[in-house]
């Protein structure tokens, strides 16, 4: 009887271990990108950031997307800015995409939900990660009057592509960058809010600003007019020292050469004087 109980217990423990392993493997095969957004390892995920509800046309934008390359692999060729023209982009950064566009002469209408950027990512492994954004500058207005936007709505879509078809997650609040060091580094004139809305149209409970330390702005004109440039002063000082040294070396060499010539001439004069005495 004891033997039967021992065998039964061993079988139960073994079955329990197998069950836990199966659950663990299943859980890790999925990658959670946001609340309610889970994709599978091997899927291709298309992320699109949208902008809407701007109080006036957009004249310029400077922003970044961030992703964890441990979980996601960017398809650089897939990065698309849709109807935006003249976009300066960098897709070769480690774990991020930066982009800037200026449309002062032809402002862009973002009053309705319009895509700003989209990109495809290959899911490398399961776990938890996120595609995050941070806007440095977003200016609205006209050629003569442009200022940071205070009324806007940022949203995003996720589309998971696999053999079974496409699974869409639409009109979600995008995940805002939460790395304090990076926020301090990238902070511009624009104010980001956790709910993706602006100062004048955000009313959600999580409508709180996420800002970094103010960046020092150097007034180049004032500095150049009020005080000499330190680099220029150093260069002038070094140049004067070099000139003085060169002049000193030249004078010393001239004196040495003069002495050598005098010593060479003196033996001839002594020889002439001796020959005269002998005569």
Per the structure block, which two tokens stand in for 51?
Answer: 């902008």
Task: Give the DSSP letter string of 204-218.
Answer: STT--EE--PPPP--
How far apart are the C-alpha atoms of 129 and 178, rounded to whole Å? 13
The count of C-alpha atoms lying within 13 angstroms of the C-alpha of 11, restricted to the half-sphere facing its C-beta, is: 6
164-172's contacts with Cβ under 8 Å and 24+ in sequence apart are 167/39, 169/34, 169/36, 169/37, 171/50, 171/113, 172/34, 172/36, 172/37
State the pLDDT at residue 62. Answer: 96
pLDDT digits (tens, 9 = 90+) for 103-112: 888 899 999 9
Contact (Cβ atoms closer than 8 angstroms) between residue 132 and residue 178: yes
How far apart are the C-alpha atoms of 191 and 200, rounded to whole Å? 12
Per the structure block, which two tokens stand in for 265?
Answer: 């001439």
Give the SS3 label for residue 79.
Answer: strand
Q: How many CB atoms lie within 10 A of CB 247?
A: 10
State the pLDDT at residue 262. Answer: 60
Contact (Cβ atoms closer than 8 angstroms) between residue 205 and residue 197: no
Split at pLDDT 50, 70, 90, the class of 267 is low
How far apart are the C-alpha atoms of 160 and 209, rounded to whole Å? 31
Mean pLDDT of 71-81: 98
Q: pTM of the prediction?
A: 0.67
Split at pLDDT 50, 70, 90, the class of 229 is very low
Q: What percentage of the chain reaches a pLDDT higher than 90?
A: 54
Nearest Cα residue to 118 out of 164, 152, 83: 83
């Amino acid at each position: 009887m004891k033997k039967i109980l021992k065998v039964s217990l061993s079988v139960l423990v073994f079955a329990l271990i197998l069950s836990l392993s199966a659950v663990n493997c299943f859980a890790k095969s999925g990658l959670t990108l946001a609340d309610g957004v889970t994709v599978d390892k091997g899927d291709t995920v298309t992320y699109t950031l949208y902008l809407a509800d701007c109080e006036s046309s957009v004249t310029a934008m400077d922003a970044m997307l961030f992703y964890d390359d441990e979980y996601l692999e960017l398809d650089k060729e897939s990065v698309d800015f849709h109807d935006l023209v003249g976009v300066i982009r960098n897709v070769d950064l480690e774990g991020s995409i930066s982009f800037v566009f200026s449309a002062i002469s032809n402002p862009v209408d973002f009053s309705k939900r319009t895509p700003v950027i989209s990109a495809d990512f290959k899911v490398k492994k399961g776990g938890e990660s996120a595609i995050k954004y941070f806007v440095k500058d977003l200016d609205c207005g006209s050629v003569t009057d442009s200022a940071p936007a205070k009324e806007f709505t940022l949203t995003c879509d996720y589309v998971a592509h696999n053999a079974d078809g496409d699974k869409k997650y639409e009109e979600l609040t995008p995940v805002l960058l939460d790395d304090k060091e990076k926020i301090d580094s990238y902070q511009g004139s624009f104010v980001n809010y956790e709910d993706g809305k602006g100062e004048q149209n955000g009313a959600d409970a999580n409508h709180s600003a996420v800002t970094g330390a103010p960046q020092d702005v150097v007034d180049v004109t004032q500095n150049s007019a009020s005080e000499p440039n330190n680099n220029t002063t150093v260069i002038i000082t070094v140049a004067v020292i070099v000139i003085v040294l060169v002049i000193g070396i030249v004078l010393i060499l001239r004196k040495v050469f003069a002495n050598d010539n005098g010593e060479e001439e003196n033996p001839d004069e002594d020889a002439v004087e001796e020959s005269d005495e002998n005569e």
